[in-house]
Amino acid sequence: MAEETLAKRANVSLADDSAAQEEDAASTEETAGKRILAQLVSEEGEPCGAPLDLPAEITSKQLQLLTNSLLDDEDDDVPFSFYVNEAEITKTLVEVVEEQNLTSEEVVTIVYQPQAVFKVRAISQCTGTIPGHTDNIVDVAFSPNGRQLATGSGDKTVRFWDIHTMTPERTCKGHKHWVQCVAWSPDGNYVASGASDNQVRVWRADTGQPACKPLLGHKKYITWIAWEPLHCSPDKVSTRFVSASKDGTARVWDLIQGRMMMSFTSHTKGISCVKWGGAGFIYTASQDTTIKVWRVSDGALCRTLNGHAHWVNSLSLSTDSAIRSGPFNEHGVIVGDMVQTSQAKYAKVRGKEERLVSASEDNTLYLWTPETSKKPVTRMTGHQRQVNFVQFSPDGRLIASCSFDKSAKLWNGVTGTFMGTFRGHVGPVFRCTWAGDSRLLITASEDSTIKLWNVKTQALLKDLPGHAGSVFAVDWAPNGTLVASGGADKTLKLWRS
């Protein structure tokens, strides 16, 4: 009896398989001769040739060959990703068209996005735990070429580290209180540091010696420092930067003259973050809930961006990565003229205009086009607690936000559309850092871990424990070779693949 039942089940299973195969065959036959009228367009909306009559079964790889051919690109290996109404074509065009319920009568718009030609390898292990600081490590920053590393600490020092021998290289003393932030000049020659002693200091990267006298003027501690983009510098070298302070002011300093050039004073509460954009504007975010846009040429206040209901904690520009790495390519090498290379890199990522994203204590983010408008592109909601850090991907197409709700979230960098959540931390997420190819993300948390994520799937690739306390700072070298992290355990950790 049992054998008879099993035989019946097997026959039913075979019949089901046969029916499924016939259905797949019918579906394939149905789409085999089907054509779709499509228009390839760039991210900026510029059409790539005339509309094309494409086979429905065309794949993403075939679209890539077609796009390279239409663009007449000398490098036929430029990778592209393709989207229809923000849905990526991963297999065939017809699958996405059917998912979108589009009719064959309309022209389907396919947006192509060039991807990074190089690929950053995922980090997998800690290759160095380096003692040296005697208090919390508050900030870590790789140089624009990825070959040097600087840290700021509660022990009042800035330290340079040898990333090859994994030992302390130079200790810069002078600050009288906690160092809150460190920032490299785009040409890699200097590091500026701001501290709770209200002072800004600049150090030579090659010697660790002061590059000028202490810069005095702020009445409260320094919260953020941003250098002028190299392509904007009238001297064609990095000489100017802006510092933000809890005293509600932002000040532009000239390194060569060793003095303040201008001061921005319209905020009514402390400034938490400042960015120096590549189009001649400086952006300040404040605890007075506003973001202000300042014109560098004359120091004038251009516009105030309103929307947040609480402190604004963090800002990021779509061009941050291009400005940071300046003239250096993905291998940390300067090719051609420094200023021209910096300008070309900036223009490529910028597109039509620079975008700005802000993160706030009100649990929200706002996306802006601040050069031309004081109205937000969109309001981005989803976090359950305050958002303390936000960062655009190096290609400017994605945004990652970190929150006290123990999660990081992924957003479309052009529209602000929510794309996914990175869940896994069991404490507030303090910081994040992107791989240079925008395919990987690392988050740092109070739970003493850093975690590596696949951006496309939001899947956890690697849990990286090791710190003995909160991880306050993390940075991925622009050349993709190393990740550095630091926190409450006073040790610097280096991670590589």
Per residue in 88-143, pLDDT (tens digit) is 888 888 888 888 787 767 888 888 877 766 678 888 899 999 999 999 999 999 99
Q: Angle CA(61)–CA(63)–CA(66) in degrees, nearest 5?
A: 115
Distance CA 485, CA 127 (A): 12
Secondary structure element (H or E) that encloses residue 229, with its range: none
For the record, the structure tokens of 236 come out as 């064609």
The alpha carbon of 161 is separated from its chain's Cα centroid by a whole number of angstroms, namely 24
CA diameter of the chain:
98
Q: Please state, in angstroms and as integers, the Cα–Cα distance from residue 298 to each residue in 27, 178, 233, 261, 302, following that order.
A: 65, 33, 15, 10, 10
Whether residue 72 is predicted with pLDDT greater than 80 in this model: the reply is no
Distance CA 452, CA 134 (A): 28
Q: Angle CA(195)–CA(199)–CA(201) in degrees, nearest 5?
A: 90
Residue type, 158: V
Whether residue 21 is predicted with pLDDT greater than 70 in this model: the reply is no
- In the block, residue with structure tokens 């309103």: 306
Whether residue 396 is predicted with pLDDT greater than 60 in this model: the reply is yes
Per residue in 159-182, pLDDT (tens digit) is 999 998 888 899 999 999 999 999
In eight-state DSSP terms, residue 216 is -
Phi and psi angles of residue 420, each rounded to the nearest 5 degrees, phi first:
170, 170
pLDDT at 20: 45
Query: Quick one: which of 29, 88, 37, 147 has its CA closest to 419?
Result: 88
Whether residue 466 is predicted with pLDDT greater than 90 in this model: the reply is yes
Tell me the Cα Rg of the chain: 25
Distance CA 84, CA 75 (A): 25
In eight-state DSSP terms, residue 54 is E
Residue type, 162: D
Phi and psi angles of residue 113, each rounded to the nearest 5 degrees, phi first:
-125, 120
Distance CA 380, CA 366 (A): 6
pTM (two decimals) = 0.84
Per residue in 232-280, pLDDT (tens digit) is 988 888 999 999 999 999 999 999 999 999 999 999 999 999 999 999 9
DSSP per position, 152-196:
EETTS-EEEEETTTTEEEEEE---SS-EEEEEE-TTSSEEEEEET
Cβ–Cβ < 8 Å for 66, 134? no
Taking the alpha carbons of 408, 437, 278, 158 in that order, is the dihedral positive or negative? positive
Query: Quick one: which of 262, 299, 296 has its CA closest to 279?
Result: 296
Phi and psi angles of residue 320, each rounded to the nearest 5 degrees, phi first:
-50, -50
